A and B are shown apart, each in its own frame.
Chain A
């Protein structure tokens, strides 16, 4: 290290220069006197010879001040570097403490960043549409609510056409419906999601193709509508190798030959929750011309509001149009309204509150980590208080000391950010796995530049804040430390700083309580959901969906199913095989139920879940038959249609009569079916109430290429997967098998459960991190307190205090901190729990079990963390402790 160059004040520089000048002139004058000149004259002569004294003085001062400033700057830089070096060295001297602090800090930064990447993707990133503010979703509202699930919010083609004609607030209103189909050629056949979009959709969205073009208005009308297709970027890259010569080529999709006219840019997605691989034109007018379609609700509508029209005005306009529709077509539209909703609100939906809860939890973890950093730095400052006091006495300014703390903070921030990025990357990978059902399809998130800058900013701010806090506290306390005499050093250094450390740890515990309560409530919710009786058995069952490539005639389909069921039943370990939709989301909901003999517009009949089912469907799913019978081989093509209804529907429609023998139809274009049996209610997603259901015979009601197959197994169903694939191939080698998994997996992947599981897993992870970090804080506080009070304990024990008494004294700090943490944390936890009560399911936000377990866990952790140092205190040898200095 170079010589220390003390910097000087301007006044000192001037004084020294004056002395130098005076000396110079004196020396010359003395010489002249020695040569025989009278002193007065000698002095005058000396000044004259010297020249312009005043100017020389001024010049020298300027030079010296400039030099001094440069010294100051280089000193500052040098000291900064040395501060950093010292910081690294002191941090390295206690590697385990540093590792823990760094790791918790990195965890805090990583967790916050990972969650922020999703928040950014969902709430902040620009949507792939133009002028987002004027783009709205127009969901159907049924009796005041937008029905949950994938079926909710959909409108009929009639509604779309009517809204276009009867409103004036929109530049355009587009409709979109999703379906799936098989893509053939160019590799294995593959099931893809198709979005049917009215040709004006791209104009409404203000979206352009990356290559090729989007639809022309004429392409909305059959037969031209069948001929063209637009690919989304993902499909184009995956399946067609990003070949830009694809435009003009024909692909075989859904048994149609379609010309590819365009490819959408990366990042584009349809403005709904649903997935889409390609977009076809939707002929809405053809659909609307059929009056029966007024009740077939498959369309999601969105529109672009004209410039200058407010959303409120657009809503009033839409309300007017819907009222006129309700008067004209009461059967189809009574109780149905349309909401005007900003597109982002529609896309984010419930995910918003979930995300904000998670973001809050992550920020809490970061805060706890910061408190930890602050606590460790403060402890170190206390340990170094004599050194610091001496340095202050020697003239080191308070600023200089604070800077040293900040240097430690900066070092932590740099390393913490580095490690935090790794944690964030892991977190993002994990989040991608568990958020699939919670976010709109195609939502991507990563460590993008904006996310990284957020992380860096968060790390710098929180590291510096957690360093500045102990820096201010410690340097303020220095005045007191300096005054401490040698023998007083044994006493605790400062009440204020001790209270500060206790407060830090207490707030860590309080935050941990909040997170633990949150995690506990979500865990309870999940348990309640998993334990919920769905009305069918999900254990030991396997399900999959066979998709035909070639359209089958009714007879072919019957034969195909018969042989498929036979092959599957023949697999050893299979108890029974059933066909029909597994009760899940709501894709099979219909709204056009009719009852023979009841006036069409009498009362609005309920929306029902409806699926064709095989004879063994009920037995395989273990849905109890309450009255009458289920389907038999006699219920086949040609025989009179029969139906089975759920108990809830039976009770709702025939409260006092026997439903068996009554005739219903699920859609206006289907034949009347006689009810032959009543079965138990089933729940769809899990959390929702049981939905009224209608079942038809699979051999009478032929859905083309749809329907799930369920196998009931004796043992573990996973073991049967390979045999199932083989059996399916034996029946028809061209068949595509989709979504093979156990019914339990199926159940877990329903949004009601999957979303909450993600919430719970993350909350639990955050809460555990918080608890561990707090435990470290408690340990630190008690270990330090014990060290400071060794002498005191020694005296107490010499005077006859029992080990038990000393142990209690030693544990008291921990108990106090835990108490404060609980007192502050619990009300906060309850307040926040009440705010997120909508995310819970049949769990009270004040769930006593959760609260009890959380408090118990905290007591145990605090006790465990302070026990080791406390025990060490009781092992002090009184004689040694008192003699030791």
Chain B
């Protein structure tokens, strides 16, 4: 990872990355479209900042999990369209399992009532 440029925390990166992969699993999209997709599907709860998303896209591209090419969007705009690679698809499967377990674990902990902690 880059040295003198401060990076977002690993966890946050991981969250963004898995969201991007999941989104692209539906269909190839350009950056802004992904941002909209995430905002729509999470009903506005998961408003990922554009900069984080943009960085995530280039990071994933470096890792070879996604690739890009220039094309035109639905609104005839010249955009860089990202696509999942085979490697990215495999990574998504592995990551989403991990994420579900993680989320479930966090949920369980948050659902504890007083007194349960010592049981």
Residues on A close to B: CB < 8 A?
16-17, 19-21, 23-28, 49-53, 55-56, 58-60, 62-64, 66-67, 70
Contacts and interface: CB of A to CB of B under 8 A. Distances in A.
13 contacts: A20-B31, A21-B54, A23-B78, A23-B79, A28-B32, A50-B51, A52-B51, A55-B6, A59-B5, A59-B55, A60-B58, A62-B2, A64-B62
A67 B51 contact: no
A699 B47 CA distance: 125
Nearest to A49: B50
Contacts of B75: 27
A63 B68 CA distance: 14
A63 B50 contact: no
A5 B48 CA distance: 31
Contacts of B51: 50-53, 55-56
B22 interface: no
Instruction: Determine the interface band of chain B, counting residues with CB < 8 A from chain A.
Output: 20 to 34
Interface in B1-21: 2, 5-7
Interface in B43-87: 49-52, 54-55, 57-59, 61-62, 64, 70, 73, 75, 77-80
Contacts of B77: 23, 26-27
Given A56-B55, A66-B62, A51 B31 contact: no
B55 A60 contact: yes
A51 B49 CA distance: 6
A24 B2 contact: no
A51 B70 CA distance: 24
Contact of A64 (B32, B58, B79): B58
User: Chain A's interface: helix, strand, loop or mixed, by majority?
Assistant: helix
Given A25-B50, A27-B32, A56-B54, 4 more contacts: A23-B77, A28-B50, A52-B51, A63-B58
A807 B107 CA distance: 96
Nearest to A65: B62
Contacts of B54: 20-21, 24, 50, 56, 60
Contacts of A51: 49-52
A55 B54 CA distance: 11
A62 B5 contact: yes
A324 B90 CA distance: 97
Contacts of B6: 55
Contacts of A28: 32, 50
Contacts of A70: 62
B9 to A, nearest CB: 14
B68 to A, nearest CB: 9
Given A23-B77, A27-B32, A55 B61 contact: no
Given A60-B55, A60-B58, A67-B61, A24 B5 contact: no
B7 to A, nearest CB: 8
A-B CB proximity, top 9 nearest: A51-B51, A50-B50, A60-B58, A56-B51, A67-B62, A63-B58, A51-B49, A63-B62, A59-B55
B50 A58 contact: no
A332 B8 CA distance: 101
A20 B49 contact: no
A242 to B, nearest CB: 62
A672 to B, nearest CB: 104
A73 to B, nearest CB: 13
Contacts of B49: 49-51
Nearest to A58: B5
A52 B58 CA distance: 15
A163 to B, nearest CB: 76
A63 B59 contact: yes
Contacts of A64: 58, 61-62
Given A28-B32, A58-B5, A20 B50 contact: no
Contacts of A21: 54
Contacts of B80: 16, 20, 23
A598 B8 CA distance: 115
A54 to B, nearest CB: 9
A59 B2 contact: yes
A71 to B, nearest CB: 10
B18 to A, nearest CB: 18
